[in-house]
Amino acid sequence: MDDRIKLKVMGISYSQLQSGAYALLLSEENGPHKIPIVIGGAEAQSIAIKMEGIIPPRPLTHDLFVSFAHAFGVKLTEVFIYKFEDGIFYSELTFSDGNRTVQLDARTSDAIAIAMRTHAPIYTTHEVVTETGFIINDNDLADSRDDAQDADAVTESDLPGADYFAEPKLENYAIEELERTLAQLIEDENYEEAARVNEILQRKRAARDGDN
């Protein structure tokens, strides 16, 4: 097992390959490779709210599973993505109660959502990385984001009357308004939008605290 590769969660983006799906991006902890995994909207939402530190008013399925396991003294020790075949990643969860160890098959998206809630390590094989991984440096990611922002700016400015009819941009909201918006989105269980609002709110708070 020493030849396994440890992974970390990098982020989530909307999948350009499959409508209604999202791309979960994993990365080698000590290497250059990134691994994209197409996941469903519900799983993406569950992972996103954990990444953003949002606490839903009621537990999601993955939260409930973790609470159930902890209540009976069962711990998730690791997630292992052991195979990629016909476009599908295969994963298993290893659980232990201190006396007995059990391995269960799981969808990779569910396995990672649970691992993030238990801080369990995520591993894969060299074969999976070789077959599905790609290398992209941080400068390429930054350039891609800048290009996307520039493209959006050109599109908006080309629309007649866009400034008059457009909804107010979240970036222009005051912190107090963002906090109210975030609370309402969480109450409505719109966690995907809540994650976006929370990211903007954290940036504004950081900027405010930096000025003080």
Alpha-carbon gap, residue 43 to 35, rounded angstroms: 17
Name which residue leads in pLDDT, 189 or 168: 189
Strands 88-96 vs 75-85: parallel, antiparallel or unpaired: antiparallel
Q: What is the mean pLDDT of the chain?
A: 81
Structurally, the chain folds into a number of domains equal to: 2
| pTM reported for the whole predicted model | 0.66
Q: Are residues 96 and 12 in the same domain?
A: yes
% of residues, the chain, pLDDT over 90: 42
Q: Are residues 128 and 189 in the same domain?
A: no
From 87, 111, 135, give the residue that closes a domain: 135
Domain coverage including residue 180: 168-212
Closest CA to 30 of 129, 106, 163: 129
Find the Cα–Cα–Cα–Cα dihedral 13, 18, 24, 29, rounded to 10°: -110
Q: Are residues 117 and 205 in the same domain?
A: no
Among 105-114, 156-165, 170-179, the range scoring the smallest mean pLDDT is 156-165
Find the Cα–Cα–Cα–Cα dihedral 104, 107, 112, 117, rounded to 10°: -60
DSSP per-residue string spanning 143-189: HHHHHHHHHHHHHHHTSTTHHHHSPPPGGGS-HHHHHHHHHHHHHTT
Q: In this structure, what are the phi and psi dihedrals at residue 162, rounded to the nearest 5 degrees? A: -60, -40
pLDDT at 33 over 50: yes
